[in-house]
Structure 1
């Protein structure tokens, strides 16, 4: 009898997560659990449907489960098509250290938990904390907050797993000439990411690329010229100037100068894999344009044109870069009817935070605009039925906006991810 008990005890110790106090032969449920635990293919199929936060805890079950959940193949299967679940905003620049973040759900009924308020798991030696420059498919590009370029450190982090990596500095003589850093990451193509640095070389510009696969910087191509007012920074105001779409970085010209593209026939975009610079035509715009929003969502690059006549033109870029075409036109009066404060100050009463594309066909189009309006509210305008819903209202004293006008801050997507850095 003792031999039988000893044999059973040894058998159950080999099975992770199964209690040794139960008789395996007397419980069909335990027999099923044993079968699942011993079949990796079946176990993976189950884990693929488990929420990411739960998966983080399941990594502690055993070394075998840890290896399954952290395997690059499993990570790609777990998030085959990343999609933003919420937007977060960089905090007021009036803060001197440790910028914090406010999360806003995209759906009215969504009561998602706040992923984080500060990036306190990154310990920047300068002591002022870190700020987010860019969000790309679950990873964040961050930098030392309020630091001179010669001292600034750059980080890649995953806020879901709280992992981060410090980027090595480029050559010290080039640090003061850095104009912008941008993160390129597509987990469907590769588990590795790249960071593109643009620095000034006299009157020209030079690109250097860092790869998480090789772990070093290298110069890419020759120095080049750019259209006047071209912006390379991932700015926290005016929705930034660098846009990641279709495997390329797209640079705006003049977004920081009044919110509109300057009268240039083209801007530049950089194909990361091919390491080639190309020209991107700018849309022809009337004289009554007062500002633009440019952003990517679900594989679409869109430009929202803000006009004096209370209309919003939404353009989309063709995937072959043949040109822009109008996708939607919005009469802002539909929003001002529900929120009359917009009528009081047409110029500064609203600001496009994001355009979210949803739906595969025209009949299933669930796309919408997210706007910030005076008074600290964010609203959602649905293109299909032209309805307007309030998403969020900032708490009193949370100064993302001024009392007399909105601050026009950049909304960045937060995407849960298991990807490693």
Structure 2
């Protein structure tokens, strides 16, 4: 009861701030000072973490220095550890014009067509100083989005929740960069890294150019891999876990059935063979992802969708098969859906894994016309999204990015402040 009463006091103070202006702010600060002096930090953190609306929690950071520190250092990491999956950013195709663009799929939508353009797309595109096209969006990692503009890359990192967009200091030696990824885990640190893959050298060692938001500078790391040229195929979507960036290889110079591991903290790299690589389809539509803080891989093997887990938090190279889902079984569930969805889905043989749920074992799969979810605990299949007529999801994990909201504030590096004031 005490916690509930204190929570009501906090929310009342927030309302006072919103309605009464400066007078409300004074009352709110007095309330905050009283709570800070009368309650242990762990209790106050528990109270603040119960503020379910992220926008309200961000506003509460301005109440006083005590609350700002607690929310930044304790609440944000705690909330980030259990942040729910909100949806998917994906690359879409308008069939009639062959135009590609970026769109968004809400995770908990009903079996209907999502509105276009989605409000989420507006929320981040309005932060950028240019109109982003499909090729300008590079990555999404734990709530942060990475964009690029120009032949000499200018990178931007956005947080749609805090309504911030920061410009990464430009490195004019990056003209040979073909792709870049984000490395960010708000549970471990409020800082992120932008990792660029340097194609200037055709032979090993290949270089990684890494920007750290903590230091505000670029560094170079060498790897034991070489990709030959910009034309070498390499899966663009990376997964970040415990300081290591994981990326599927698909070039002719190295085994296309490997997972490349770049340890950004130690500066070393290695390759892990994918499970049952001799039986995997040659189309490179397999999906790596995080599931309950474990690195997992999903792919088609024959007529079944397999789901593996990398043991011991990636300390060894052993894969364990967790689920084996027959394609025919999934097909029966697809054909129980409405006629429009069945038509959009197309042939069951064309299905591919799209993404993995970060906090459960749910697998998201589909075709160019629809996305579904499979729930292993009760073998349930649900429709997540179906495209409009004349629209398609560009297949493969490189085109579908899970999105979870993040409350971390971004540091401005002084070149351009695209931050929007809080409403």
Q: Kindly indicate whether the alpha-carbon contact (under 8 Å) linking 1:90 and 1:410 is maintained by their aligned counterparts in 2.
A: yes
Are 1:283 and 2:239 counterparts?
A: no
Are 1:297 and 2:291 counterparts?
A: yes
Q: Kindly indicate whether the alpha-carbon contact (under 8 Å) linking 1:297 and 1:357 is maintained by their aligned counterparts in 2.
A: yes
CA distance in structure 1 between the partners assigned to 2:266 and 2:225 by the alignment:
19
Task: Tell me the residue number matched to 2:182.
Answer: 183
CA distance in structure 1 between the partners assigned to 2:281 and 2:102 by the alignment:
33
Give the C-alpha shift of residue 412 in structure 1. 1.4
Q: Give the counterpart of 2:401 among 412, 415, 421.
A: 412
Task: Tell me the residue number matched to 2:107.
Answer: 105
Are 1:71 and 2:72 counterparts?
A: yes
CA distance in structure 2 between the partners assigned to 1:407 and 1:184 by the alignment:
21
Q: Kindly indicate whether the alpha-carbon contact (under 8 Å) linking 1:68 and 1:74 is maintained by their aligned counterparts in 2.
A: no
Q: Kindly indicate whether the alpha-carbon contact (under 8 Å) linking 2:90 and 2:399 is maintained by their aligned counterparts in 1.
A: yes
Q: Structure 2, unaligned stretches of length 5 or more?
A: 1-11, 18-26, 336-341, 411-423
CA distance 1:46–1:329, change in 2 (3 Å): same
Task: Tell me the residue number matched to 2:49.
Answer: 48
CA distance 1:227–1:280, change in 2 (3 Å): farther
TM value normalised by structure 1: 0.72
Task: Tell me the residue number matched to 2:155.
Answer: 154
Q: Structure 1, unaligned stretches of length 5 or more?
A: 1-14, 21-30, 235-239, 359-365
CA distance 1:102–1:123, change in 2 (3 Å): closer
SS state of the match for residue 337, structure 1?
helix
Task: Tell me the residue number matched to 2:332.
Answer: 337
Residues 66-145 of structure 1 mapped to structure 2, 5 A cutoff: 67=68, 71-92=72-93, 99-106=101-108, 116-118=120-122, 119-124=124-129, 131-144=136-149
CA distance in structure 2 between the partners assigned to 1:84 and 1:127 by the alignment:
24
SS state of the match for residue 308, structure 2?
strand
Give the C-alpha shift of residue 338 in structure 1. 2.4
Task: Tell me the residue number matched to 1:274.
Answer: 266
Give a deviation string over 1:160-188, Cα, whole Å, max 9, x none.
Answer: 11111111222x3x332113212111223
For the aligned residue pairs, the C-alpha RMSD in angstroms reads 4.1
Task: Tell me the residue number matched to 2:420.
Answer: none
Task: Tell me the residue number matched to 2:3.
Answer: none
TM value normalised by structure 2: 0.72
CA distance in structure 2 between the partners assigned to 1:407 and 1:305 by the alignment:
11
CA distance 1:251–1:117, change in 2 (3 Å): closer
Higher relative contact order, structure no. (Cα contacts within 8 Å, ≥ 6 residues apart): 2
Task: Tell me the residue number matched to 1:363.
Answer: none
Give the C-alpha shift of residue 409 in structure 1. 6.5
Task: Tell me the residue number matched to 2:419.
Answer: none
Give a deviation string over 1:82-133, Cα, whole Å, max 9, x none.
Answer: 4423223233388899944222315869xx9966123223333588698432
CA distance in structure 1 between the partners assigned to 2:77 and 2:178 by the alignment:
33
CA distance in structure 1 between the partners assigned to 2:372 and 2:257 by the alignment:
33
Matched residue count = 365
Q: Kindly indicate whether the alpha-carbon contact (under 8 Å) linking 2:60 and 2:68 is maintained by their aligned counterparts in 1.
A: no
Give a deviation string over 1:314-350, Cα, whole Å, max 9, x none.
Answer: 22212222322212111111121122459973542x2
Give the C-alpha shift of residue 226 in structure 1. 3.1
SS state of the match for residue 39, structure 1?
helix
Relative to structure 2, which stretch is displaced further, 388-397 or 329-338?
Answer: 388-397
Q: Kindly indicate whether the alpha-carbon contact (under 8 Å) linking 1:157 and 1:165 is maintained by their aligned counterparts in 2.
A: yes
Give the C-alpha shift of residue 217 in structure 1. 0.8
Q: Kindly indicate whether the alpha-carbon contact (under 8 Å) linking 2:299 and 2:353 is maintained by their aligned counterparts in 1.
A: no
Give the C-alpha shift of residue 383 in structure 1. 1.2
CA distance 1:287–1:213, change in 2 (3 Å): closer
Q: Kindly indicate whether the alpha-carbon contact (under 8 Å) linking 1:120 and 1:129 is maintained by their aligned counterparts in 2.
A: no
SS state of the match for residue 90, structure 2?
strand
CA distance 1:417–1:305, change in 2 (3 Å): closer
Give the C-alpha shift of residue 419 in structure 1. 0.4
Q: Kindly indicate whether the alpha-carbon contact (under 8 Å) linking 1:55 and 1:69 is maintained by their aligned counterparts in 2.
A: no
CA distance in structure 2 between the partners assigned to 1:79 and 1:408 by the alignment:
23
Task: Tell me the residue number matched to 1:362.
Answer: none
Q: Kindly indicate whether the alpha-carbon contact (under 8 Å) linking 1:334 and 1:386 is maintained by their aligned counterparts in 2.
A: no
Q: Give the counterpart of 1:39 among 35, 38, 46.
A: 35
Q: Which has the larger radius of gyration?
A: 1
